[in-house]
Structure 1
Amino acid sequence: MDSLGSLNAFVQAAEARSFTLAGRQLGVSPSAIGKAIARLEERLNVRLFHRSTRTITLTPEGTLFLERCRRIFCEIEAAELELSQTQGAPRGKLRVSLPLVGMLMMPTLTAFMRTWPEIELDLDFTDRLVDVIDEGFDAVVRTGEMSDSRLMMRVPGAYHHQIVAAPDYLDQRGTPRMPDDLLSHVCLHHRYPTTGKLERWPLKRGRKDLDIVLPHSAIANNIEPLIHMAEQGIGIACLPDFAVRQQIEEGRLVAVLTDHVQNACAFRILWPSSRQISPKLRVFVDFMAQNLFAGRSAGL
């Protein structure tokens, strides 16, 4: 068991490239990680890491050893999976990376936790491109096309954008009937945190895409402030439908120009192809598809 613990410390340090991060993930001190790896190197009579004051990197021997250790832990995971399947309800930790817009999925995620209390969600919200395997995620939720051959993929659902404003705002400024009418409105824009570019409003006239330079009355790199400003009657915003569904149902926001916004963006859940999909991941995907994207079926 001590050997297994040392192997786990090695894998965590190798994937994090840091004794500090590895210790944080395992709940021990960086020095404990360093000592465990030193004992492992002594037992194997080989150096696994090149160490400097700031970084650690794998030696060629360490790289080979990491691949073998990953296979060992995959076998252990497979054994645990077989046992969990015989025990009934899905359980265990599920580490998932979601985009920042995923914060708006919290009501659905909270409902999932109530439905499956034996599954521990470990959520990481970021818009950066994460490495599912090297960073140790069970699954990653992202939009857009994915081309990593090491990953399996399912599409739990899609969302559309809606242009919305508060009833009071529309009473004061008028309701836009055509895309060009937006030029005289207070437009609230979303900026992508990773690129710094403004998100384009997917406006169309018939089948023709429109590229209108809209007024920049306010800009935010997170969608939640835009929802708040729109609800307060500050301006008009283009937002994902699932993010404003409740506000529209309750009359706090009104969708406009619905015939001139025609697009669909797919959410994708990805996980390492070397692993059999576990019960906990299966119920996660099904639950998100059934509850986040009402009326759109998806599953495994």
Structure 2
Amino acid sequence: MERFGALNVFVRAAETRSFTEAGRQLGISASAVGKAISRLETRLNVRLFHRSTRSIALTPEGAIFLKRCQRIVEEIESAEAELALANSAPRGQLRVSMPMVGTLVMPVIGAFMKAYPDITLDIDFSDRMVDVIEEGFDVVMRTGDASDSQLITRAMGTYRHVIVGSPQYFAKHGPVTDPHQLPDHACLQHRFPTTGKLRRWPLNSDGESLDIDLPNTATASAVEPLIHLAEHGLGLACVPDFTVRAQLARGSLVSVLNQYVDTPSTFRAVWPSGRQVSPKVRVFVDFMSKYLFPAGTESVRDPSSSME
């Protein structure tokens, strides 16, 4: 620590080009600064400053040494700030963007608010591409990959799409055991709000993608209406498995063609890069990861018994 103190004195003197100003910033006398620099030069066996009665200037060796010392001081200050953040209570406004699955995640959001009452959530539910930095989001939850070098990304969990319908629908229209039967069924489709295109159902067989022209019984730009319509026996919907976990568990929906929709996707949290992750971002991402994607949760049930 004594050596670090001398390095800190050297950096202040080099940056201010004044022993007097360095002493004022450090709360010591100009004479004490000069003595600390002299001891440092003696220990290093090198001259760090050219001195005159009116000014000081770095020697070439001093300029090289300054660059190293600045990095050392920055790292120590960063480490101290990181520890201070880790020990501080999460609080303040947290601006979040997440996909349009609002009502499906509200139980988890509500539990988070109860667990962290000092955090004020400002949530933007949207499927559009957002500019995390320009729009001032603290954290964004999205699917797929994040390649922006200005962002930090963390995989929160994996999911896959499932094709679901109600037991009443299958009792009326018969089981679906082959993807090529889908054109004969009512299909509830998700439309991207930004492009107007329909989301492709990720069907595949033996590693090959299946291009099947599906009927368009109804469309929606959010997942919740599709789930509601499917639960009421109005058709089949292809949705992320975590969005229908409760319905699958209680049997109001059953999944079909599981072996043809088995490609996993990643749900990610991204936030602006920086030296530290703020406590409010850290606890939010940890909480959502734990309760949206609980380890070992069986989110897809075998529908065979419900369809016989």
Q: Which residue of 2 aligns with 1:215?
A: 215
Residues 289 and 296, structure 1, Cα contact 8 Å, conserved in 2 = no
Deviations 1:224-279 (A, max 9, x none): 11111000000111111111110111110011111111122211111111251011
Q: Does 1:147 align with 2:147?
A: yes
> Matches of residues 250-269 of structure 1 in structure 2 within 5 Å?
250-269=250-269
Q: Which residue of 2 aligns with 1:161?
A: 161
Q: Which residue of 2 aligns with 1:247?
A: 247
> Matches of residues 1-300 of structure 1 in structure 2 within 5 Å?
85-87=86-88, 89-295=89-295
Residues 165 and 253, structure 2, Cα contact 8 Å, conserved in 1 = yes
User: Any unmatched runs of 5+ in structure 2?
Assistant: 1-78, 298-308
Residues 85 and 278, structure 2, Cα contact 8 Å, conserved in 1 = no
What displacement does 1:294 show?
2.0
Residues 132 and 138, structure 1, Cα contact 8 Å, conserved in 2 = yes
Query: RMSD across aligned C-alpha pairs, in angstroms?
Result: 2.1
What displacement does 1:124 show?
1.1
Q: Which moved more, 1:161-170 or 1:256-265?
A: 256-265
Residues in 1 aligned to 2:82 and 2:170: alpha-carbon distance in whole angstroms: 55
SS in 2 for 1:100: coil
Residues 152 and 272, structure 1, Cα contact 8 Å, conserved in 2 = yes
Q: Which moved more, 1:92-101 or 1:186-195?
A: 92-101
TM-score if structure 1 supplies the norm length?
Answer: 0.68
SS in 1 for 2:105: helix
Residues 144 and 267, structure 1, Cα contact 8 Å, conserved in 2 = yes
Partner amino acid, structure 2, of 1:163: I
What displacement does 1:187 show?
0.8
Residues 189 and 237, structure 2, Cα contact 8 Å, conserved in 1 = yes
What displacement does 1:165 show?
0.4
Deviations 1:2-59 (A, max 9, x none): xxxxxxxxxxxxxxxxxxxxxxxxxxxxxxxxxxxxxxxxxxxxxxxxxxxxxxxxxx
Q: Which residue of 1 aligns with 2:45?
A: none
Residues 290 and 296, structure 1, Cα contact 8 Å, conserved in 2 = no
Aligned length: 219
Label 1:80 to 1:119 Cα distance change in 2 as closer, same or farther (>3 A): farther
Q: Which moved more, 1:221-230 or 1:100-109?
A: 100-109
What displacement does 1:95 show?
1.0
User: Any unmatched runs of 5+ in structure 1?
Assistant: 1-77
Residues in 2 aligned to 1:97 and 1:238: alpha-carbon distance in whole angstroms: 23
What displacement does 1:195 show?
1.2
Label 1:162 to 1:86 Cα distance change in 2 as closer, same or farther (>3 A): closer
Residues in 1 aligned to 2:80 and 2:117: alpha-carbon distance in whole angstroms: 22
